[in-house]
Amino acid sequence: MVGSRQKQIGRKAGDGLVVLIEGRCYPLVTISVNGLSFQATGHHKGELLTLKLAQLFDMRNCVEGRIRVVDAKETTTVGEFVVTMDLMRYIIRHMSAISGVSPVSPHFS
């Protein structure tokens, strides 16, 4: 049941974001600080992709990142992030907005 709950949280966290690759827009399925899955075909395991994560309703609000494809199914591509600080800040800020929880601990303010 824990895995099911984590998938629900990941899907919720992806609300409002899309993946942009080479001028094409793909729906985000799940996202975490480790990686993401999105609806797309034609990618291959091991492939390194440059992409942008963007707000669906304001695509100027975006961040560039890279993923290594770890699974490519019939309709879904799954990738692990090549981590950068800008990418992590963007994801954590988005997850904070979706969950209503501040990413800063009151003990460190």
Average pLDDT along the chain: 84
pTM of the predicted model as reported, rounded to 2 decimal places: 0.77
Average of pLDDT values for 30-58? 94
Stated length of the chain: 109
Backbone angles phi, psi at 13, to 5 degrees: -65, -25
**For domain 2-99, which architecture applies?**
Beta Barrel (2.40)
The domain locations on the chain are 2-99
User: Can you give the pLDDT at residue 104?
Assistant: 65
Cβ-based burial of 108 (10 A; exposed 0-12, middle 13-18, buried ≥19): exposed
Q: Which two tokens stand for residue 1?
A: 């049941």
Q: What is the pLDDT of residues 6-33, one digit of tens each?
A: 444 444 556 789 999 999 999 999 998 8
**Cβ atoms of 98 and 15 closer than 8 Å:** yes
- DSSP annotation of 42 reads S
